[in-house]
């Protein structure tokens, strides 16, 4: 029932995006000393939404889903603005920490939208 409401789909997509980005950033931090490692990131949530003209279409998120050959919901690309060190590593811990804090705020915002929408829905149904 709730998955059919656009606000809940949007909050879910935003939280999923934040979780995926946090995973990518954690890999960047884990490879901060790996020679030749290029920092990676995913497109912003706004860019993902603008590119999805169908409006949160069906996606294969597990290998068991039908048509799961290209099951990546978000594309992970090398970060172009990163300046590489002499050993070829382009991870800056300061930058990764700033991105991680921004991602945490995005996830908290998604949960706040979900909670607020759920409260409105409960009020409309006459429940507390």
For residue range 103-122, list pLDDT tens digits in order.
999 999 999 999 999 898 88
Q: What is the pLDDT of residue 2?
A: 56
Do residues 41 and 90 make contact, with C-beta atoms less than 8 angstroms apart?
A: no
Q: Which of 29, 12, 1 is nearest to 94 (CA)?
A: 29
pLDDT of residue 51: 80
- Cα angle 24, 19, 4; round to 5: 140
Contacts of 56 (CB under 8 A, 6+ apart): 9, 10, 13
- pLDDT tens column, 17-69: 999 999 999 999 999 999 999 999 999 988 888 887 555 555 556 666 544 44
Judged against a pLDDT cut of 60, whether residue 91 lies above it is answered with yes
Domain boundaries, the chain: 2-125
Q: Residue 34 belongs to what H/E stretch?
A: none
Regarding predicted confidence, which is higher, 54 or 79? 79
Determine the average pLDDT of the residues in 67-73.
Answer: 49
Q: Can you give the pLDDT at residue 115?
A: 93
| Cβ 13 vs Cβ 74: under 8 Å | no
């Amino acid at each position: 029932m709730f998955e059919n409401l656009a606000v809940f789909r949007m909050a879910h997509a935003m939280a999923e995006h934040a979780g995926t980005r946090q995973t990518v950033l954690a890999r960047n931090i884990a490879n901060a000393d790996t020679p030749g490692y290029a920092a990676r990131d995913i497109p912003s949530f706004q860019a993902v939404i603008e590119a999805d003209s169908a409006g949160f279409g069906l996606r294969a998120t597990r290998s068991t889903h039908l048509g799961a050959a290209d099951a990546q919901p978000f594309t992970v690309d090398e970060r172009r603005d990163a300046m590489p060190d002499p050993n070829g590593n382009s991870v800056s811990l300061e930058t990764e920490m700033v991105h991680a804090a921004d991602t945490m705020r995005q996830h908290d915002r998604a949960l706040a939208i979900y909670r607020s929408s759920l409260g409105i829905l409960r009020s409309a149904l006459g429940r507390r």
